[in-house]
Amino acid sequence: MWIITYFWFTAPPNDAKCGPIYHNIGNANGFTSDGFPVILTAHELNDELEANGCGAEAHEQPDGSNGGAVWLVCPAIPDPRNGAIASDAFLDVTTHNSLLDSFVSNNFACLKNTGKFCFESSVE
């Protein structure tokens, strides 16, 4: 189980202070359809966005007093290596002129075709 943490941007993409920070992250990771950068790491959230006042986060209240779900229970994903992904499997991914997260798509293709993650395939 996880404690859910929500994150949000605190300024529009064209903000004088936050815009350049968003732009730098987006150049590395891509942008969402509404112009915000795709965030991939805690460093981007904590050290680049929140530290500069360009993002904020909050946890669900453990007692449920804010009306949201406190816990989400998700099934465990079995190890996807060694043929666990069927040859006719496909991803249903979000795009905006290109893949928003090519890391996931690339690793899915590697797992499907080789039975290994991309980084494992390149090591051997």
Question: How does pLDDT run across 75-107, given as a tens digit for each residue?
Answer: 566 777 777 787 788 877 666 666 666 777 888
Do 9 and 58 fall into the same domain? yes
Residues 20-65 have pLDDT tens digits of 999 999 999 899 888 999 888 889 999 999 999 999 887 666 666 7
Is residue 65 domain-shared with residue 94, that is, in the same domain?
no
In this structure, the answer to whether residues 109 and 60 fall within a common structural domain is no
Identify whether 124 is part of a domain: no
> Residue 69 has what pLDDT?
56
Whether residues 19 and 68 share a domain: the answer is yes
- Establish if 59 belongs to a structural domain: yes
Chain mean position to CA 71 = 19
User: Is 53 found in the same domain as 19?
Assistant: yes
Are 99 and 93 in contact by the 8 Å Cβ rule? The answer is yes
Q: Cβ(69)–Cβ(4) under 8 Å?
A: yes
Question: What's the confidence (pLDDT) of residue 66?
Answer: 66
Residues 65 and 83 in one domain: no
Q: Are residues 36 and 66 in the same domain?
A: yes
Residue 68's domain spans which residues?
Answer: 2-72
Q: Are residues 62 and 85 in the same domain?
A: no
Q: Rounded to two decimals, what is the model's pTM? A: 0.52
